[in-house]
């Protein structure tokens, strides 16, 4: 048994986590990662062999919600031990050191381990007034982010502020707040975990994937892991059958609300929001916003403070709403018009994504690559002789 393996098993024992609990955790992680259950054995084997990756955690314009999510005040679990396999060298909120001493630790890691450490960024990065809105140890957040993320092996933007700018970037964005992709152009291996805050289950699953497969998982156009952001809230929602049947909550506390009817008319943005909340849930898997009777406000999507408000107004463009006056009529519309509704949702979502793609470097890169591929394909299709000659 290697020293690392010994350390890990000893840690399980010290914290009272049984082997059975640990295997259960690995199976649950396989589920979050959308891998077959058989992957649990490989996850368990790889995690036990792993060496501690070094992690630094930067906090800029934020409310500390992602650190809270990371620290999760519940009893020690296998997930905590996995997160503890990370050697967190710098996290200004939780580390004992403070001031210059703490700052030295951060830049020592950057200097001594270039390309070998991971960085988590929490909070947006203000660029207005030469970066003066957020400074740490006399340096601007922008300067620190560019240096620390620029030399990291990978950067994880945790939460919607670090990912897309979040609340600080909401109009009129007085501080010129940006997410990491825009503030640190060209940053290598950037992974976005959007949401307000990001779910620690997804952060844990991301590390488990990396520790198991030694590379990062496939990402969407916003650089979010597909295992967590590949499907809309609406696709997996427990109230979806009510949406399909035309059964909607019409007012807070009405019979539909008490029965668990669909929250679409109360402003639910689940049809245009992508995250695994219905499956993974929150607070140790106990519940999630829609499960508690509140509409999804789209917190995982870019510019949600501007684009998803008013939060309690339903999405536009779906035929039937505002016309049908009773459940039967809505039900009739739902029966014949549900395809159109999904087309409308899909269109809205696509339009939203397209609009953002003009401004988001990661999405722009993908769009340019897709365009190049389409042009190459068109060229090959237009000239089969040339294609044949080249092959
Ligand atoms: Fe669930 Fe919202 Fe979709 Fe209704 S509109 S099914 S509450 S995600
Ligand atoms: Fe956010 Fe909607 Fe999930 S509000 S936490 S994406 S259900």
DSSP per-residue codes, 228-277: HHSSBHHHH-TTHHHHHTT-B--STTSHHHHHT-B-GGGT--GGG-B--H
Q: If you measure from the C-alpha of residue 274 to the centroid of ligand 1, how many angstroms do you get, rounded to a whole number?
A: 12
Reported as a single tens digit per residue, the pLDDT across 356-384 is 443 344 444 544 554 555 455 455 544 43
Q: Which residues contact 278 (CB under 8 A, 6 or more apart)?
A: 233, 236, 237, 238, 288, 290, 291
Choose the residue to mutate in 197, 277, 295 for probing ligand 2, maximizing ligand atoms within 8 Å of C-beta.
277
Atom 3 of ligand 1: nearest residue by CA position: 234
Q: How far apart are CA 125 and CA 279, in angstroms?
A: 31
Pocket test for ligand 1, best of 231, 235, 238, 239 (most atoms within 8 A of CB): 239
pLDDT digits (tens, 9 = 90+) for 28-39: 888 888 888 788
Which among 86-90, 232-236, 323-327 has the top mean pLDDT? 232-236
- Map tokens 């975990």 to a residue: 193
For 100-117, the pLDDT digits (tens) are 777 777 888 889 889 988
**Which ligand is located closest to the Cα atom of residue 308?**
2
pLDDT band at residue 212 under the 50/70/90 scheme? confident
Q: What is the mean pLDDT of residues 57-73?
A: 81
Pocket test for ligand 2, best of 164, 166, 193, 195 (most atoms within 8 A of CB): 195
Q: Identify the top-confidence range among 53-67, 118-132, 315-329.
A: 118-132
Pair of tokens at residue 101:
């001493």
Residue 261 scores a pLDDT above 70: yes
Owner of token pair 């339903």:
314
Query: Could you tell me the pLDDT band of residue 72, with boundaries at 50, 70 and 90?
Result: low
Is the CA virtual torsion 237, 242, 248, 251 positive or negative? negative
- pTM for the complete prediction? 0.77
Per the prediction, the chain carries an average pLDDT of 78
pLDDT number for residue 323? 32
pLDDT of residue 93: 66
Q: What is the mean pLDDT of residues 172-190?
A: 96
- Interatomic CA distance for residues 215 and 3, integer angstroms: 23
Q: Which residue has the higher pLDDT, 258 or 30?
A: 258
DSSP class of 225: B
Decide which of 146 and 98 is more confident. 146
Q: Categorize the per-residue pLDDT at 389 as very low, low, confident or very high, splitting at 50, 70 and 90.
A: very low
Whole-number pLDDT of residue 303: 92
How does DSSP assign 35-77, residue by residue? --TTHHHHHHHHHHH----EEEEEE-BS-SHHHHHHH--S---
| Angle made by CA atoms 327, 328, 329, in degrees to the nearest 5 | 90
Are the beta carbons of 175 and 125 closer than 8 angstroms? no
For position 315, what pLDDT does the model report?
77
- How many angstroms separate the alpha carbon of residue 17 from the centre of ligand 2? 31
């Amino acid at each position: 048994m290697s020293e690392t393996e010994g350390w890990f098993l000893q840690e399980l024992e010290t914290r009272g986590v049984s082997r059975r609990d640990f295997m259960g955790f690995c199976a649950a992680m396989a589920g979050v990662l959308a891998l077959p259950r058989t992957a649990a054995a490989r996850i368990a084997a790889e995690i036990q062999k792993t060496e501690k990756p070094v992690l630094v955690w930067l906090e800029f314009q934020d409310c500390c919600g992602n650190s809270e999510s990371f620290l999760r005040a519940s009893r020690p679990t296998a997930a905590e031990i996995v997160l503890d396999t990370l050697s967190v060298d710098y996290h200004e909120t939780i580390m004992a050191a403070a001031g210059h001493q703490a700052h030295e630790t951060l830049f020592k890691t950057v200097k001594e381990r270039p390309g070998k450490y991971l960085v988590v960024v929490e909070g947006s990065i203000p660029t207005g007034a030469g970066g003066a809105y957020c400074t740490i140890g006399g340096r601007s957040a922008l300067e620190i982010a560019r240096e620390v993320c620029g030399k990291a092996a990978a950067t994880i933007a945790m939460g919607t502020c670090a990912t897309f700018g979040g609340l600080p970037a909401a109009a009129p964005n007085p501080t010129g707040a940006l997410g990491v992709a825009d503030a640190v152009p060209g940053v290598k291996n950037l992974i976005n975990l959007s949401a307000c805050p990001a779910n620690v289950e997804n952060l844990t699953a991301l590390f488990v994937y990396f520790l198991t497969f030694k590379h990062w998982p496939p990402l969407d156009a916003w650089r979010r892991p597909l295992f967590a952001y590949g499907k809309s809230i609406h696709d997996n929602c427990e109230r979806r059958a009510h949406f399909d049947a035309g059964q909607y909550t019409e007012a807070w506390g009405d019979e539909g609300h008490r029965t668990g009817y669909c929250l679409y008319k109360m402003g639910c943005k689940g049809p245009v929001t992508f995250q695994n909340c219905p499956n993974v849930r929150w607070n140790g898997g106990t519940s999630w916003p829609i499960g508690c009777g509140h509409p999804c406000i789209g917190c995982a999507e870019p510019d949600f403070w501007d684009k998803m408000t008013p939060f309690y107004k339903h999405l536009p463009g779906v035929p039937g709403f505002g016309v049908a006056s009773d459940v039967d009529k809505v039900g009739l519309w739902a029966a014949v018009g549900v395809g159109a509704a999904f087309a409308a949702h899909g269109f809205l979502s696509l339009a939203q994504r397209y609009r953002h793609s003009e401004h988001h470097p990661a999405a722009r890169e993908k769009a340019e690559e897709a365009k190049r591929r389409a042009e190459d394909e068109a060229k090959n299709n237009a000239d089969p002789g040339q294609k044949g000659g080249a092959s």
